[in-house]
Amino acid sequence: MLSRLRTEQGEIFNFAKSTPDRADVFRFSKRKNKADWARLGTWLKKFPEVEYAEPDTILTRAEVPAPIMPNDAYLSHQWSLLDAVSGIRAEQAWGYTTGKGSVVAIVDTGVLPHVDLLPNLLPGYDMIADKAVANDGNARDNDATDVGDYVLAGECGSASNINSSWHGTHVAGTVAAAGNNTEGVAGVAYNAKVLPVRTLGKCGGYTSDIAAGVIWAAGGAVSGVPTNPNPARVINLSLGGNSSCGTTMQNAINAARAKKAVVVVAAGNSNADASQSSPANCSGVVAVAATGRDGGRAYYSNYGSVVDLAAPGGSMNTGTANGIVSTLNTGTQGADADTYNYYQGTSMATPHVAGVAALMLSANPALTPDQVETLLKSTARAFPQPCTNCGTGLLDATAAVNAALAALPPVTPEPETPVVTDPYVALLDELVKQRNLWRSFKISNYSYVLEEQTGTATPSRLKLTIRSGKLSSGVNLATGKSLSSSNLKAKGKTLEQVFSVIESAINTKYAMVKATYNTSQGYPVDSFLDKSSAVKGDEVTLKVSNVTKL
């Protein structure tokens, strides 16, 4: 097939690399337009050995205005986090979690070691395979530091010089700039960790490199690249291009989701339908539109049915301070001094959502990507100003974290350590109304008597019954014998409970006992057990619930 491509189509090309899903990438000698690619793709797909054929398109960072230094760059300038109308209600969410334990990958231009990021910055990877795009003198390596994406007039189709954006550094600050450190700004998840993955350089970045970065960030395997020791549960993609979602990108997203990573993507800044913006139009991503200072759709933001929700992205057309302030650098080409500047774009909205996803997973690590997306969308609040086709609403950090906490599975209390006096277990406790008590016992004796004794009154003997599944009460699961004994004595207002559990009674770690005092009956006890096949020496946990103090 390759030889016929040369002879029949007259194409000159060379093998460049392989994608993470084992597709081969070739570089052609002549530049091609969309019609050329369509024609070539149709020709290639007639061969049975070709599963798919698509151009390795170049995606670019979302365009942002030139950085402007604010007079002051502290939390009070972060309206996107704190404003009651158009912010995300971050301060209330922080009362539950600040993101500790979460890792967020910033798949972008790389990240600088900014003073406000260093406490949360993990070692990352430079996934750019092309030296010219990498602009750092080499190809893929383990240094994800942003070296600058400046272009000179005539490069990348630009008519003038364009300064380095430090785009990934700005995005990273919105996600997880360190909080409570007296420095600059606070990230949405300011105790989460940032995993930088450099995929965008001079003129943007190839889809194949971005896809490799997504897979590596989630902990997947990429040929020739060491395994990521810090897999991310959240992947931020503040990037895109005007195209359909290609197979290479979709495969990468699927692989990341299989590793339980939530993939959050910018909807794009073309004031157009996001269905034409990739990877926002890929399946399984959380696509984010941008709102302005008033909470309505930002004038540049894409929209449409593929958008899941919106978050603050800024509206600097109404004033610089209405942008999003975050970590940046003063360098115009290479890095210089740390600083803080305002940007706007869906690139700025996306890390707000990624940060909230990190808060949710910090609160409840058991959440799946689908659950995170569902909760983000279901807890979004109504837009304060019109935002047509912007998804389900405006990001609400507090509501999302509360929903994540509500989804936690019930926690079984840890049993307390008993005092063991073989063949009985003696427990001293005052029984308090509605209190649940957990105790552990060693199976050591065949029977026990239940007594309730006050003063010189004649003890009343009560039977302890055991239930398990469909078995009849009072049946010993292993031997068929009935239980008969324990001691329960009242001494003033303190009850001494002495239990000895039949050695073959249970193999579960739980036995629920409900005891409610009755003046005529004492403490009728019902025990509910789950499993059988216990042996001597097994430990059993007894839960006493709904007990009433004498």
Q: Which residues are catalytic?
A: 108, 167, 347
Alpha carbon distance 247, 268 (integer Å): 20
Phi, psi of 394 (to 5 degrees): -90, 135
What are the two backbone dihedrals, phi and then psi, of residue 544, each rounded to the nearest 5 degrees?
Answer: -105, 120
Pairing status of strand 239-242 against strand 487-491? unpaired
The distance of Cα 198 from the centroid of its chain, to the nearest Å, equals 20
The pair of structure tokens assigned to 142 is: 């383990």
Query: Is-contact 195 217, C-beta < 8 A?
Result: yes
- A 10 A CB-CB count for 79 gives 19
Q: How far is CA 22 from CA 52, 54, 220, in A?
A: 12, 14, 13
How far, in Å, CA of 531 to CA of 135, rounded? Answer: 65
Which two structure tokens, joined as six digits, stand for 103?
């890792």
DSSP string computed for 129-180: --HHHH-SSSSSBS--------B-TTGGG-SS-B----HHHHHHHHHH---S
Neighbouring-strand partners of residue 377: none
- Angle at which helix 369-379 crosses helix 397-406, to 10 degrees, equals 130
DSSP for residue 271: S
- Helical H segments across 330-485, by residue range: 346-363, 369-379, 397-406
Q: CB atoms < 10 A from the CB of 388, how many?
A: 9
3-state secondary structure of 119: helix
| CA distances for 438 relative to 19, 64, 377, 491, angstroms | 55, 59, 40, 21
Tell me which DSSP letter residue 68 carries: B
Output the CA angle 271-275-279, nearest 5 degrees: 100
Q: How far is CA 346 from the centre of its chain?
A: 20
Place of tokens 């070692």: 123
Q: Is the C-alpha dihedral spanning 134, 136, 139, 141 positive or negative?
A: negative
Cis, peptide link before residue 423, omega less than 30° from 0: yes
Phi, psi of 125 (to 5 degrees): -150, 140
Q: Residue 16: helix, strand or coil by DSSP?
A: strand
DSSP state of 461: E
The Cα 44–Cα 47 span in angstroms is 6
Pairing of strands 424-429, 494-499: antiparallel
Structure tokens at 77: 């300038």
